[in-house]
């Protein structure tokens, strides 16, 4: 026998069954692949023997070649078998492992949330009115056209119904003469309360309202606070007193308040209320009425910020709600909550409030 043939046969004997033990010891797929490489890799034991084949004389090539190939096939099939075993063991461990306990607290404590800035401001405003003696009441976000417009004195097709560009709701099997919409303001609560209660009453309400509007200062959904008071001999003086007290509690003592005549179909007279600009007043001479400041972009250098609409409840509204307009008078006011929050926190774009980006909301 040639030297090369003898060397190969000796090598095969030396290799023997060692690879089987190595494969059995391999605990992971990586271990197993390493063990295989020691036999069949570039400088593996069997590869080295194969390299000697060239030197084996032709008449011995067949028998030596067969022996080498048989060992090689053994190595491959032992490898495949062990690989399958390892995969099954892994899967088995996975299936029989204790299930994840989703109720365990995380290692990093969950960050505590806080109320949304709009909710905070809304609650604060409601609290001020509650402390002034108003009761809280809630109304639905979907309401009848009559409660949102007609009973408040908007004639059918009044331009104001356009102005507030409503979201109409189709009610399956609903009555055509009882159209339904997402309320465009919280004044619906006035109608509902006055239709079901007898004066005296002082009520405040708040919640989402909807209009087809969408820009940096308007969102299709925003929040309003509505307040109204009905009793005998209520005058504009009480309205001024209540709203001035409110402005001082929200913006600080001495906050200037002014009433400008304005129009809403459900009040007469009606007014818009401005407060002295909370941004530029600090720099102004008190004698100069706290502004205007030429550089203030928030109040556009007027020194005033509009915060709400108000007025004496129109006698027609009382009549629509079954309240004796000869006996009772009252006032009502309504304001946007986002506007107060934007002024309070210096938020330039209303849409930021509703994108729910935690990087933004965490700042409040
Ligand atoms: N409902 C009015 C609006 O949304 C605000 C308002 C309420 C005005 C009550 C006067 C009295 O614009």
Q: What are the residue boundaries of the structural domains of the chain, listed by start? A: 3-96, 117-361
**Ligand 1 pocket, 148 CB below 6 A?**
no
Write down the pTM of the prediction. Answer: 0.69
Q: What is the reported pLDDT for 1?
A: 66
State in Å: Cα 138 to ligand 1 middle.
16
Residue 199's CB is within 10 A of a number of other CB atoms, namely 18
Going by the DSSP 8-state scheme, the letter that residue 103 receives in this structure is T
Q: What is the reported pLDDT for 215?
A: 86
E strands present in 95-245: 135-136, 142-144, 168-169, 180-182, 201-210, 221-231
CATH superfamily of 117-361: Bira Bifunctional Protein; Domain 2 (3.30.930.10)
Rounded CA separation 127/150 (Å): 31
Rounded CA separation 307/303 (Å): 13
**Ligand 1 pocket, 185 CB below 6 A?**
yes
End-to-end CA distance of the chain: 90
CA dist 331 → 146, 160, 163, 233, 334 (Å): 20, 21, 23, 11, 11
Q: What is the reported pLDDT for 129?
A: 98
**Ligand 1 pocket, 259 CB below 6 A?**
no
**Ligand 1 pocket, 190 CB below 6 A?**
no
| Spacing of C-alpha 107 from chain mean position | 25
CB 268 within 8 A of CB 296: no
Rounded CA separation 332/88 (Å): 75
Q: What is the reported pLDDT for 287?
A: 40
pLDDT tens per residue across span 157-216: 776 566 557 888 888 888 888 889 999 999 999 999 999 999 999 999 999 999 988 888
Nearest CA to ligand 1 atom 2: 334
Going by the DSSP 8-state scheme, the letter that residue 148 receives in this structure is H
Q: What is the reported pLDDT for 283?
A: 45
Cis preceding-peptide flag for 200 (omega within 30 of 0): yes
Q: Which residues pair with 202 in a beta bridge?
A: 229
State in Å: Cα 130 to ligand 1 middle.
19
Place of tokens 């930021």: 352
Burial class (CB in 10 A: 0-12, 13-18, 19+), 363: exposed
State in Å: Cα 79 to ligand 1 middle.
81
Strand arrangement, sheet containing 304-313: 135-136, 201-210, 221-231, 329-336, 304-313, 267-276, 257-262
Those residues with Cβ within 8 angstroms of residue 154's Cβ, 6 or more apart along the chain or in another chain: 160, 161, 265, 266
State in Å: Cα 255 to ligand 1 middle.
22
**Ligand 1 pocket, 225 CB below 6 A?**
no
Rounded CA separation 202/143 (Å): 22
State in Å: Cα 128 to ligand 1 middle.
19
State in Å: Cα 148 to ligand 1 middle.
11
Helices (H), 185-310: 188-196, 236-251
CB 311 within 8 A of CB 271: yes
Strand, coil or helix: 273: strand
Ligand 1 atom at shortest distance from the alpha carbon of 336:
4
**Ligand 1 pocket, 265 CB below 6 A?**
no
pLDDT tens per residue across span 266-285: 999 999 999 988 878 654 44
Pocket mutation for ligand 1, best pick of 149, 153, 187 (most atoms within 8 Å of C-beta): 187
Low-confidence ranges of the chain (pLDDT < 50): 283-291
Q: What is the reported pLDDT for 293?
A: 65
């Amino acid at each position: 026998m040639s030297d090369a043939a003898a060397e190969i046969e000796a090598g095969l004997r030396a290799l023997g069954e060692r690879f089987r033990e190595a494969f059995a010891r391999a605990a992971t797929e990586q271990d197993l692949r390493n063990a295989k490489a020691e036999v069949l890799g570039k400088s593996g034991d069997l590869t080295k023997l194969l390299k000697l084949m060239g030197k084996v004389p032709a008449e011995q090539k067949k028998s030596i070649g067969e022996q080498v190939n048989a060992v090689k096939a053994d190595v491959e099939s032992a490898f495949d078998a062990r690989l399958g075993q390892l995969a099954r063991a892994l899967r088995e461990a996975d299936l029989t492992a204790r299930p994840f306990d989703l109720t365990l607290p995380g290692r990093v404590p969950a960050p505590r949330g806080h109320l949304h800035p709009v909710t905070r401001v809304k609650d604060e405003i409601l609290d001020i009115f509650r402390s002034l003696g108003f009761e809280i009441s809630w109304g639905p976000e979907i309401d009848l056209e009559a409660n949102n417009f007609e009973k408040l004195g908007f004639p059918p097709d009044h331009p104001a119904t356009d102005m507030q560009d409503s979201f109409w709701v189709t009610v399956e099997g609903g009555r055509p003469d009882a159209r339904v919409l997402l309320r465009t303001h919280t004044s619906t609560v006035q109608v509902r309360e006055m239709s079901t209660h007898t004066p005296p009453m002082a009520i405040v309400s708040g919640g989402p309202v909807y209009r087809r509007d969408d820009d940096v200062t308007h969102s299709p959904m925003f929040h309003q606070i509505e307040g109204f008071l009905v009793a005998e001999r209520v005058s504009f003086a009480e309205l001024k007193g209540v709203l001035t007290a409110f402005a001082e509690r929200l913006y600080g003592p001495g906050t200037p308040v002014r009433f400008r005549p304005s129009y809403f179909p459900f009040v007469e007279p009606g007014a818009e209320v401005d407060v002295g600009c909370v941004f530029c007043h600090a720099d102004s001479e008190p004698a100069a009425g706290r502004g205007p400041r030429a550089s203030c972009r928030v109040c556009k250098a007027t020194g005033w910020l509009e915060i709400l609409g108000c007025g004496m409840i129109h006698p027609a509204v009382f009549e629509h709600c079954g309240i004796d307009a000869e006996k009772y008078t009252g006032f009502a006011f309504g304001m946007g909550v986002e506007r107060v929050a934007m002024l309070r926190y210096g938020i330039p774009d209303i849409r930021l409030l509703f994108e729910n980006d935690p990087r933004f909301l965490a700042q409040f």
